[in-house]
A and B are shown apart, each in its own frame.
Chain A
Amino acid sequence: MTTNSRHASSYRDPSGHVYIENNLIKRIIFPSYFPQYEALKSSGFFEKAFQHKLLIPHEETERSATQICIQPEQIPFITYPYEWSFQQYKEAALLTLKLQKYALQNDFSLKDATAYNIAFHNGNAIFIDTLSLDFYQENTPWRAYKQFVTHFLGPLVLAKYHGAEFLKTMSNFIDGVPLKMIASLLPKTTKLNPFLYTNIHLLAKYENKHQEEDVKASKQASLSKKGLFNIIDNLYNYIKKLQLNEQSEWGNYYQKTNYSDNAFSLKSNIINEWIQSLHAKKVIDVGGNDGTFVRQITSDIELALVGDIDNNAVDQNHYAVKKDKETNMLPFVIDLLNPSAAIGFQNTERFSFVQRVQEFKPDVTLALALIHHLSLTGNVPFENSAAFFAAISEHLIIEFPKRNDSYATRLLNAKAEFKDQFGHYNLEDFERTYSEYFELIDKKEITDSERVLYLFKKKDVK
């Protein structure tokens, strides 16, 4: 194996790194981490952590005096912290604390606590950075505490006060939100809360005060294990109860529609039929709301990626996944008019949304009740949206609300005096433009509504 295939995001930890071989994610471990690895393995901690679904399971594939290779269970699609809904973000934070407590009980400790150590897999958050586990040293504080606050607690509390949209800004803070910024963005009243005062305001003050001092002085800091458990238990209790101030009610989220039950069942039957005829196993629904239509699919789906721009819809979807223990649904927050970019050093650490979807190779893309938003809210020409859909999958199921659909009409009216310039938003123009990129396989009117469903197959590139 060569280091050329080292994963671009895996350079921070000198204990080893991730690499890609034959399209499989693997991990190489260097001798400096052998003692930890051997202890985690021989004590049975790895095995227990796998069974409790805290840590991604792995198998050892290679062993020599200079390196050990492990192959973790593969995760088909990674969503990043800035694509998580509020409840997903909470789940990721809680899992990190749960693993840290369990590790401490077994005399290990997490040496880092970044949000990128977590992925969503089979319906649960799971810790994916195996080499983050280290020996616990008696009477030492948690060295990843600050990282936990800047990656998890800070963003969650800011989302509580400023809205879940704040989580999207995490793409600008790959190493966590600066403490000073968290403290200054929080309302003054949070200083009266002992939990927020100590974990954020006082922490920011201490960090500011000691930033010039020698790192070695940290050896003076000492804390009993009981003290560590107090910190972790208290963080867990607080985050578990944390809710957005703007939180919407659970349930009946999908009621905000403008069509009848009859049209709804007709629409889902048509989609179902088409998905079956395509034998689709991997699906992406790019405007999937709370996952309602994907849940109507009766054939076996390996994995459905269900994105939506609305945090509350994604929270609702996540809630359904947890409640019913669904394993083949991956909800995430995405704004198609500005999907996640590639970020990090050399712009290669975290991949762009489009690149990840292309690598996932969905069999079909669902774009239901979406094109009027792209075309009328975002002013995206049909040509551009067709090119986007053609770039991500072989097949496309797309719903077109006609001009006299009440939602489309509302968006058109919002254009006021510019309404005339959106004359191109009509069925004929849509079909003509999309036919340049796709071959029309089937087309069905949804009776009892002003909407038409299309099944397209991508044309071969000339």
Chain B
Amino acid sequence: MHFLYFDAGLGAMLIQAIVAAVAGIALFYKSIKFKIRSIFGLDKNASENEVFDDINIDDSKIENPSKDDN
């Protein structure tokens, strides 16, 4: 059940298919670029001044796995 307690915006809902398609191309290009760079050992992604990590969460990093999984 959804509560439409604020206007999500019809245009904003419709456009996401286009945004996703363009994003898909960008991400594909990025992964190709990354592969080529790593083949030539040019990967400088691990900048030591970077304080923000990757978006992906690694569940194996949890120290005490959840006990509520019943």
CB distance from B70 to the nearest CB of A (A): 8
Specify which chain A residues have a CB less than 8 angstroms from the CB of B12 in the assembled complex. Answer: 141, 145-146, 149, 203, 206-207
Q: Roughly how many angstroms separate A359 CA and B55 CA in the complex, as a whole number? A: 35
Scan A173-206; emit 1 where CB is below 8 A from any B CB, else 0: 0000000000000000000001100110011011
CB distance from A98 to the nearest CB of B (A): 5
Please tell me if the beta carbons of A221 and B55 are within 8 angstroms of each other in the complex.
no
Please tell me if the beta carbons of B22 and A195 are within 8 angstroms of each other in the complex.
yes
Please tell me if the beta carbons of A223 and B16 are within 8 angstroms of each other in the complex.
yes
Please tell me if the beta carbons of A221 and B9 are within 8 angstroms of each other in the complex.
no
Specify which chain B residues have a CB less than 8 angstroms from the CB of A364 in the assembled complex. Answer: none
Q: Roughly how many angstroms separate A23 CA and B7 CA in the complex, as a whole number? A: 33
B20 interface residue per 8 A CB criterion: yes
A143 interface residue per 8 A CB criterion: yes
Specify which chain B residues have a CB less than 8 angstroms from the CB of A440 in the assembled complex. Answer: none
A48-B62, A52-B62, A146-B9 given as contacts; is B17 within 8 A of A227 (CB)? yes
Please tell me if the beta carbons of A218 and B13 are within 8 angstroms of each other in the complex.
yes
Q: Roughly how many angstroms separate A82 CA and B63 CA in the complex, as a whole number? A: 35
Please tell me if the beta carbons of B55 and A146 are within 8 angstroms of each other in the complex.
no
CB distance from B59 to the nearest CB of A (A): 7
Specify which chain A residues have a CB less than 8 angstroms from the CB of B7 in the assembled complex. Answer: 215
Q: Roughly how many angstroms separate A231 CA and B56 CA in the complex, as a whole number? A: 14
Nearest-CB residue, chain A, relative to B51 = A322
Specify which chain A residues have a CB less than 8 angstroms from the CB of B2 in the assembled complex. Answer: 111, 134, 137, 143
Specify which chain A residues have a CB less than 8 angstroms from the CB of B22 in the assembled complex. Answer: 194-195, 198
B30 interface residue per 8 A CB criterion: yes
Give the interface residue-count category, chain A: 35 or more
Specify which chain B residues have a CB less than 8 angstroms from the CB of A143 in the assembled complex. Answer: 2, 8, 13
Q: Roughly how many angstroms separate A207 CA and B15 CA in the complex, as a whole number? A: 9
A102 interface residue per 8 A CB criterion: yes
Please tell me if the beta carbons of A198 and B18 are within 8 angstroms of each other in the complex.
yes
A230-B27, A322-B51 given as contacts; is B68 within 8 A of A141 (CB)? no
Nearest-CB residue, chain B, relative to A213 = B10
Q: Roughly how many angstroms separate A235 CA and B26 CA in the complex, as a whole number? A: 11
Specify which chain B residues have a CB less than 8 angstroms from the CB of A205 in the assembled complex. Answer: 11
Q: Roughly how many angstroms separate A92 CA and B25 CA in the complex, as a whole number? A: 26
Please tell me if the beta carbons of B23 and A32 are within 8 angstroms of each other in the complex.
no
A222 interface residue per 8 A CB criterion: yes
B57 interface residue per 8 A CB criterion: yes
Please tell me if the beta carbons of B57 and A102 are within 8 angstroms of each other in the complex.
yes
Specify which chain B residues have a CB less than 8 angstroms from the CB of A41 in the assembled complex. Answer: 68
Please tell me if the beta carbons of A147 and B6 are within 8 angstroms of each other in the complex.
yes
CB distance from A314 to the nearest CB of B (A): 14
Q: Roughly how many angstroms separate A354 CA and B23 CA in the complex, as a whole number? A: 43
Specify which chain A residues have a CB less than 8 angstroms from the CB of B70 in the assembled complex. Answer: 42
Nearest-CB residue, chain A, relative to B4 = A215
In A274-292, which residues have CB < 8 Å from any B CB?
Answer: none
Q: Roughly how many angstroms separate A42 CA and B69 CA in the complex, as a whole number? A: 7
Nearest-CB residue, chain B, relative to A101 = B55
Nearest-CB residue, chain B, relative to A224 = B20
Q: Roughly how many angstroms separate A135 CA and B30 CA in the complex, as a whole number? A: 31
Partner of B23, one of A42, A48, A222, A231: A231
B52 interface residue per 8 A CB criterion: yes
Nearest-CB residue, chain B, relative to A46 = B68
Please tell me if the beta carbons of B5 and A234 are within 8 angstroms of each other in the complex.
no
Scan B26-38; emit 1 where CB is below 8 A from any A CB, else 0: 1100100000000
Please tell me if the beta carbons of B6 and A94 are within 8 angstroms of each other in the complex.
no
Nearest-CB residue, chain B, relative to A102 = B57
Q: Roughly how many angstroms separate A15 CA and B2 CA in the complex, as a whole number? A: 10
CB distance from B20 to the nearest CB of A (A): 3
Q: Roughly how many angstroms separate A14 CA and B5 CA in the complex, as a whole number? A: 8
Q: Roughly how many angstroms separate A347 CA and B56 CA in the complex, as a whole number? A: 39
A42-B68, A51-B63 given as contacts; is B8 within 8 A of A98 (CB)? no
Specify which chain A residues have a CB less than 8 angstroms from the CB of B10 in the assembled complex. Answer: 207, 210-211, 213, 215, 217-218, 221
Partner of B17, one of A105, A223, A323: A223
CB distance from B14 to the nearest CB of A (A): 5
Specify which chain B residues have a CB less than 8 angstroms from the CB of A194 in the assembled complex. Answer: 22, 25-26
12 contacts between A and B (CB under 8 A): A32-B1, A52-B61, A141-B12, A141-B16, A143-B2, A195-B23, A198-B23, A206-B11, A206-B14, A210-B11, A230-B21, A233-B27
Given contacts A15-B3, A111-B2, A237-B30, 14 further A-B contacts (CB under 8 A): A12-B5, A12-B6, A35-B1, A52-B62, A90-B52, A112-B6, A134-B2, A141-B13, A195-B22, A198-B19, A202-B15, A209-B11, A222-B17, A234-B26
Give the 3 A-B residue pairs with the shortest CB-CB distance, closest first: A206-B11, A227-B20, A146-B12
Chain A residues in the interface with B (C-beta under 8 A): 12-15, 32, 35, 41-44, 46-48, 51-52, 54, 87, 90-91, 94, 97-98, 101-102, 105, 111-112, 134, 137, 141-147, 149, 194-195, 198-199, 202-203, 205-211, 213, 215, 217-218, 220-224, 227-228, 230-237, 240, 250, 319, 322-323
